[in-house]
Amino acid sequence: MNSVYPSIEGCHLTLRHGSRTIVEDTSFKISDGAFVGLIGHNGAGKTTLIKALLNLHPLYRGEIKIKGVPLSKKLQTSMAYLPQNLPFIPLSGYSLLSLACQKLGGLFFFSRHQEKEKIDAVLSFVNGHHFAKRPVSSLSGGERQRIFLALALLSQPKVLILDEPFSSLDPAQAENILALLQKINIERQTTILCSTHQIFSLASVVTDILCLKAQKAIIGKTETILHSSLLAEIYGLPERVLKTM
């Protein structure tokens, strides 16, 4: 970790969705190895920003860099993404991981033995061996999250981006997935950007908070953002109500 370059850098970004401006001439840096919570009210542009970071939404102006390299020139394997709504797939978790290994094999040749080793390693990391042979469509929300996190880890990404990963989980599942994300962040030295409305639930884990407000992106240390008036301004609610979210 502690690269000379930020993991993610937005330089004078302007993003539009149709005729609506999402962010305008805004800049931010996400430090290498950070665990960042992305917040903003509904419609603030969290998903649009995520898509732009993944090169899935055009930049109206500005530039995005990953580890100092312009996004357009960055290998896709350096980043991994988990959408808010994970697909219900009839394949088993293990078969899904095997197919992903075959796709990766187009970039890096894997023998059958290497493929099995890689799959076993990521399943062990996410504690997913005991349900990996079941169809993904039959798994609970937390189990599916673990399979898709294992899928993301196959390519050993430097950056992991998640869109509302806790929205469909019960409190116990959400706590377990949050602990797993913290483990990925620390042990795999992976920079994480996670959009959420449950920022106080993540407060003990996230190192920084990136706020979208009034077409600007504002980033700061977690303790600084949580103890400012910014959250109340973003959500239009008093702090005592926000802490129950």
Tell me the pTM.
0.89
For residues 245 and 199, the answer to whether their CB atoms sit within 8 Å is: yes
- The CATH number for 176's domain is 3.40.50.300
Q: Is residue 14 part of a domain?
A: yes
Whole-number pLDDT of residue 241: 47
Q: Is residue 62 part of a domain?
A: yes
Whole-number pLDDT of residue 108: 55
In the chain, % helix, strand, coil (3-state, to 5) comes to 40, 25, 35
Taking the C-alpha atoms of residue 46 and residue 31, their distance in angstroms, rounded to an integer, is 19
Sign of CA dihedral 165, 81, 54, 188: positive
Strands 159-163 and 79-82: parallel
Taking the C-alpha atoms of residue 245 and residue 236, their distance in angstroms, rounded to an integer, is 13
Report H helices in the chain. 46-53, 93-104, 112-126, 141-153, 171-187, 199-202, 222-226, 230-235, 239-242
Q: Is residue 69 part of a domain?
A: yes
Residue 175's alpha-carbon distances to 166, 171, 188, 198, 204, in angstroms, are: 9, 6, 19, 12, 12
Mean pLDDT of all residues belonging to the chain: 87
For residues 195 and 162, the answer to whether their CB atoms sit within 8 Å is: yes
Q: What is the pLDDT of residues 82-127, one digit of tens each?
A: 998 888 888 999 999 999 888 776 555 567 788 889 999 999 999 9
Distance from the Cα of residue 139 to its chain's centroid: 21
Backbone angles phi, psi at 122, to 5 degrees: -75, -35
Q: Is residue 146 part of a domain?
A: no
pLDDT along the chain (245 residues), means of 10: 76 92 94 95 89 93 91 73 88 93 66 86 96 94 95 93 91 94 97 90 91 90 82 64 52
Q: Is residue 30 part of a domain?
A: yes
Q: Which domain holds residue 206?
A: 8-86+158-241
Q: Is residue 15 part of a domain?
A: yes
Q: Please tell me the total count of domains within the chain.
A: 1
Whole-number pLDDT of residue 109: 59
Q: Is residue 141 part of a domain?
A: no
Q: Is residue 19 part of a domain?
A: yes
Strands 208-213 and 79-82: unpaired
Query: Cα dihedral angle (201, 38, 67, 175), rounded to 10 degrees?
Result: 20
